[in-house]
A and B are shown apart, each in its own frame.
Chain A
Amino acid sequence: QQQVKQSPQSLIVQKGGIPIINCAYENTAFDYFPWYQQFPGKGPALLIAIRPDVSEKKEGRFTISFNKSAKQFSLHIMDSQPGDSATYFCAASIQGTYKYIFGTGTRLKVLA
């Protein structure tokens, strides 16, 4: 019940494409869903986050879609660029507990 399932494992898109990464959770107590971006040899960095009281959040080219009834959320990257090539992790937590459960990661490659 504590798992966060992330798919796909890897993704290759052309420049300008819209990669979509999906995550699903089971614990209905989760109320905070961040996405992290990680470049090789670096620590993860917070990209965007959402709470379940909204169905969508946009920050620049990054959008989170959230479906509370299905217990799923996804990351969309609009107009993807080669510089977006990185590993993306979804995560879930109960806000205020600081105990995060991470997905297994998606390695994205954007071709020039």
Chain B
Amino acid sequence: NAGVTQTPKFQVLKTGQSMTLQCAQDMNHEYMSWYRQDPGMGLRLIHYSVGAGITDQGEVPNGYNVSRSTTEDFPLRLLSAAPSQTSVYFCASSYRVAGAVDTQYFGPGTRLTVL
């Protein structure tokens, strides 16, 4: 299994440009999430999905869109990039087993710089 994969690893955008960060998992996990990580602020949840066709907002959803058309893929779209969106973005997937802890697996991250 490749686990959770993210592309690209690095990206530089100009203010106002749009782009899509890709996330895929091959573990057949129902749950997927996007986080951003900023110095001194930990990880903050942007959007999450509990299954194909179902998404919901996290703590910091403004400026981002998501969709989940398949179990495997959960892309994050930046509609009009702003310097405040400069961050490291992590995708994660989760599964549940009755009686066991919820386990969340993270991808390697995408480092985004908006000029």
Query: Is A32's CB under 8 angstroms from B42's CB?
Result: no
29 examples of A-B residue contacts, CB within 8 angstroms: A2-B59, A9-B40, A32-B101, A32-B102, A34-B101, A42-B108, A43-B108, A44-B90, A46-B103, A49-B101, A51-B101, A91-B43, A93-B102, A96-B96, A96-B102, A98-B31, A98-B33, A98-B48, A98-B50, A98-B94, A98-B104, A100-B33, A100-B45, A100-B104, A101-B45, A102-B35, A102-B42, A102-B44, A105-B42
Interface residues on A, range: 20 to 34
Residues 85-110 of chain B, each 1 if its beta carbon lies under 8 Å from chain A, else 0? 00000101010100001111111110
Query: Is B40's CB under 8 angstroms from A43's CB?
Result: no
A66 within 8 A of partner (CB) = no
Beyond contacts A2-B59, A6-B42, A96-B96: 12 other A-B pairs, Cβ-Cβ < 8 A, are: A43-B90, A43-B106, A43-B107, A89-B42, A96-B102, A98-B33, A98-B48, A98-B94, A98-B104, A100-B45, A101-B45, A102-B43
